[in-house]
Amino acid sequence: DTAVSQTPKYLVTQMGNDKSIKCEQNLGHDTMYWYKQDSKKFLKIMFSYNNKELIINETVPNRFSPKSPDKAHLNLHINSLELGDSAVYFCASSQTGSGLLNTEAFFGQGTRLTVV
């Protein structure tokens, strides 16, 4: 029973293409995230959705568009892919909420995107 699952695990594509990464969590969490891990392993948040609403957008190019059809799903669509987009993208989820202390963030296995 995978808690946070994302597909695909590997994605190789040419510059200029459009691609999507899908994420689903079965933990009942109210918040989902996309993080980017670069070649030096640095992890940086890109987006956060709370109950399907975008609450964090960290200066990410508008070629990246997250979509949350429901609380359990957060997809990432990337238009006009560039070489510099090559990285590992992680989906994560946690339970947050006003007045509550945040709990553990669970991460998916990652999607290794290679743009050639």
- Maximum separation of any 2 CA atoms in the chain, in Å: 46
For residue 49, the tally of other CB atoms under 10 A from its CB is: 21
- Residue 96 contacts another protein per CB under 8 A: yes
In sequence order, the β-bridge partners of residue 13 are: 115
Cis link prior to 8 (omega < 30° from 0)?
Answer: yes
- Residues 2-31, interacting with another protein (CB under 8 A): 4, 31
Torsion, Cα 22 52 91 116, to 10 degrees, reads: 50
- Residue 53 contacts another protein per CB under 8 A: no
Stretch that binds another protein, among 16-24, 41-49, 61-69, 72-80 (CB under 8 A): 41-49
Of the residues 8, 12, 44, 63, which one makes contact with another protein according to CB under 8 A: 44
Question: Based on CB atoms, which residue is closest to another protein, 80 or 103?
Answer: 103
- Residue 48 contacts another protein per CB under 8 A: yes
